[in-house]
Structure 1
């Protein structure tokens, strides 16, 4: 049977990779009940479909390059069990891809939960639904109670990325091989694997990862187009970005884009924004759930003093969008902070808010004009024409 003449595009043309905007923007974690915040305030997202369609279309309309979901399979316990409700990300991406025209739509998943042969087929399918706008956010997987739901044991840290390395090799092999292919590794043994159609994007869709450890950074440098890095002060961020990019070039001859994750609390004045942060995060935050999460993250520590200032600071970071960099203040303050990150070498940011509708409106009405003036974004008419 002859091959169908599928329409193809170059992966390099993906909005999140080729946008004329100096600083790329992605709407992050809207598919989770509560977004990325562990709080009981009413304005957090609810993870219902009509809301997802509205937010995605609004993000596309105001010029965001991508929608990136979070993968969760159960909540974090505590007082309100935050993040217990979530929309699965491959099917979420398929639905939203059919209802949008320009924005990149990503799926986020844990490697132990999706076999690479299945993932290759699903990703290609969504890429066809979207017309070549799909992307993958690959997570090695670390929460044992979630992995146990799939009968998967939690592996040692570096071994998780060794598994992810084989996983990525298999999906890329399937996307680029005509006919059957085999793969014999330490963790996967695949015989006569086959996948058609190939993705619309060639050689395959954009991939990103959030690994911040040496093993995680090596995985991203080898397989991904983008990596999320923890944001510190501008000087440390610049040093970190330069080191990651240099490592990717030296080891694999690849250019790796570095993104951050930010949580925006914007108000007319810095004082009003700080008061809103105090209300949502400090007063209404689920400190019990944050304690549970810190306990998992520090499982190998013999004792954890949850009343110490250091641990309380970490717990606040968990409540505030899981350590997303706090961008709190007036529009001018927030744009100045973003420009510092851009000047430090970050090429974009995945953004969360307490109220996603309000956040996108604030971006369109006040933040975008300031970002244009700062040289971070192009005027909306130019961005739309280039999409």
Structure 2
């Protein structure tokens, strides 16, 4: 298993806990990235949102791409996966900027291609927001332009959304960055299996993740592509005893005050007590992070991780809180026995 962590660009991951001791600052991000490399983490995922989805829209959030460039300059081995939303970036100019960041990183840049979901954010910033299937049509063209500029000396393109005329990208990336993407619609799966290198998923139990991996593998094989890799988001709590882990889980699920990110909270509390608990559990951690149930002792987490490996999962994208302390604990108690030896991204990236 490879281990990645979400860079805390929002100043934390817990919607029910207002202060987590991990500010949205360059100093925190820099120190975390350097230390993560030392203790065994393979990758950082840097989310791209201009509004804070965790602590409320008025709270600070780091810009993804300037942060990525800075992280590239202070690390040496860590893969830097940056989320990119095509409707927020003109593809030819993006290809140029991303190629430069990949050069700074020595070939360690990868992209998490996200077809935007937050309509209000796009409206506030005066940006294009397409309907669902149109987002994937735009993303498909956008990827054609970006990869064309990375692979050809001059690139011409005429599509529905974008045009280039003899466009030049020089210097090019060290290698064409690995393209990760996620999505559960038919439009998303079709685009991903044709144009991307890896499939990333929100958190779910093993019996849900296994069939998803099998489905994408079959689609990829039918499309004649090389095998893909698979990643999943998860929130991790490791403690010396199961009781301690459960107490920590209860802490992050407890609602004392209405968090800034809640909308129409009375509606969240409607229905049965079970419905209320399920809704709070889903909302407390983003990306369905609690569903994989990586909560327990080191032995319990290792066993669950092995189950995910058995169905084909290659990468865990972890959120923790407070991040520095919990990443240290997880590295010492879990990663040492479960990490997989792998080539550097420079050696494995597809051209």
Fold conserved between structures, TM > 0.5: yes
Q: Give the corresponding residue for 1:136.
A: 111
The 5 A counterparts of 1:21-60 are 23-34=1-12, 36-60=13-37
Q: Is the 8 A contact 2:103 2:173 kept in 1?
A: yes
3-state secondary structure, aligned to 1:317: helix
Residue 310 (structure 1) shift: 4.3
* Equivalent residue in structure 2 for 1:289, among 255, 261, 268: 261
* Distance in 2 between residues matched to 1:337 and 1:243, nearest whole Å: 22
TM-score (norm 2): 0.89
> 2-side partners of 1:88 and 1:185: how far apart?
29
Measured in 1, the distance between the counterparts of 2:280 and 2:129 equals 23
Worse-matched range after superposition: 108-117 or 182-191: 182-191
Shift in Å, 1:251:
2.0
Matched ranges for 1:276-315 at <5 A = 276-283=248-255, 289-291=261-263, 306-308=269-271, 309-310=274-275, 313-315=278-280
Counterpart of 2:245 in structure 1 is 273
C-alpha spacing 1:290/1:319, structure 2 compared with 1 (3 Å):
farther
1:74–1:125 distance in 2 versus 1, CA, 3 Å: same
Counterpart position of 2:44: 67
TM normalised by structure 1 equals 0.81
Question: For residues 64 and 179 of structure 2, what CA distance do their matches in structure 1 show?
Answer: 15
Q: How many Å separate the matches in 2 of 1:246 and 1:44?
A: 44
TM-superposition CA deviations, 1:174-204 (whole Å, max 9, x none): 111113x221111112233221111111xx1
> SS where residue 289 of structure 1 aligns?
coil
**Residue by residue, what CA displacement relative to the aligned partner does 1:275-328 show, whole Å, maximum 9, x if unpaired?**
111112333585663446x99xxxxxxxx7752344752442132133123411
Structure 2 unaligned regions, length at least 5: none
Which residue number corresponds to residue 221 of structure 1? 193
> Aligned in 2, Cα 1:83/1:340: closer, same or farther, shift over 3 Å?
farther
Residue 261 (structure 2) pairs with residue 320 (structure 1): no
Counterpart position of 2:157: 183
How big is the shift at 1:149? Answer: 2.9
Q: Secondary structure at the match of 2:208?
A: helix
Q: What secondary structure sits across from 1:220 in the alignment?
A: helix
Question: Shift in Å at residue 236 of structure 1?
Answer: 2.9
Q: Is the 8 A contact 1:28 1:69 kept in 2?
A: yes
Aligned to 2:261, the other structure's residue is in SS state helix
Whether the aligned pair in 1 keeps the contact of 2:10 and 2:53 (CA below 8 Å) is: no
Aligned 8 A contact 2:52 2:61 in 1? no
- The residue number in structure 2 matching 1:154 is 129
Q: Which position in structure 1 is the counterpart of 2:174?
A: 200
Contact between 2:91 and 2:142, CA under 8 Å: does it hold in 1? yes
Between the aligned partners of 1:88 and 1:41, the Cα distance in structure 2 is 21
Greater Cα shift, 130-139 or 25-34: 25-34
Deviation at 1:41, TM superposition (A): 4.6
> In terms of mean alpha carbon deviation, does 273-282 or 344-353 score higher?
273-282
8 A contact 1:68–1:106 mirrored in 2: yes
Q: 2:234 aligns with which of 251, 256, 262?
A: 262
Which one is further off, 258-267 or 184-193? 184-193
Cα distance, 1:44 vs. partner?
Answer: 4.6
Measured in 2, the distance between the counterparts of 1:140 and 1:72 equals 12
Q: 1:81 aligns with which of 38, 56, 61?
A: 56
CA contact (8 A) 1:106 1:136 kept: yes
d(CA) in 1 for partners of 2:206, 2:167 = 46
* Mapping for residues 86-125 of structure 1, pairs under 5 Å: 86-125=61-100
Provide, for residues 37-72 of structure 1, a one-character-per-residue CA deviation record: whole Å limited to 9, x for no partner.
213353352111111111111111112111111111
CA change 1:37–1:217 in 2 (3 A) is farther
What is the Cα-based RMSD across aligned positions, in Å? 2.7
Contact 1:228 1:258 in 2 (8 A): yes
CA distance in 1, matches of 2:148, 2:275: 45
Report what 2:144 is aligned to: 169
Asked whether 1:333 is paired with 2:300, we answer yes
Indicate whether 1:366 and 2:333 are aligned.
yes
